[in-house]
Amino acid sequence: MKRTYVEVAGRTFHLAQGTDVRDTKEEVVAALRAGGGLVDFVVYGNVEVSVAVSPGVPLIFRSEEVEHDERDTGDLEEPFRPYETHNYETVL
């Protein structure tokens, strides 16, 4: 399974599997073109975060292959705490 990470100003957000990365990138670009704004992400753990993006804030997308995690559905109604069973950096 491919996991996409978004690094914003040195902080890493692990996007939930199944996230439409193309749409997320388009939202980031739209916020930047507007001079800045909030972009919402559903991250690993099925939790939504809002990230303020603006010109001058470093933002990097990267992807890698990881094992499939059946809990990581992106369903905000079923959050879980990834740090209890995995050694992942988390935003919780």
Domain boundaries, the chain: 2-84
User: What pLDDT is recorded for position 41?
Assistant: 92
- 65: how many CB neighbours lie within 10 A of its CB? 7
- 7: how many CB neighbours lie within 10 A of its CB? 13
Structure confidence by residue, pLDDT tens digits, 44-73: 999 999 999 999 988 999 999 988 889 888
User: What pLDDT is recorded for position 16?
Assistant: 93
Residue 74 has pLDDT above 90, yes or no: no
Helices (H), 8-62: 21-33
Cα 18 to Cα 2: distance, rounded to the nearest angstrom: 9
Confidence category of residue 87, pLDDT binned at 50, 70, 90: very low
Cα 36 to Cα 86: distance, rounded to the nearest angstrom: 34
- pTM for the predicted model, two decimal places: 0.76
Residue 90 has pLDDT above 70, yes or no: no
Q: Would you say 21 and 28 are in contact if contact means Cβ atoms under 8 Å apart?
A: no
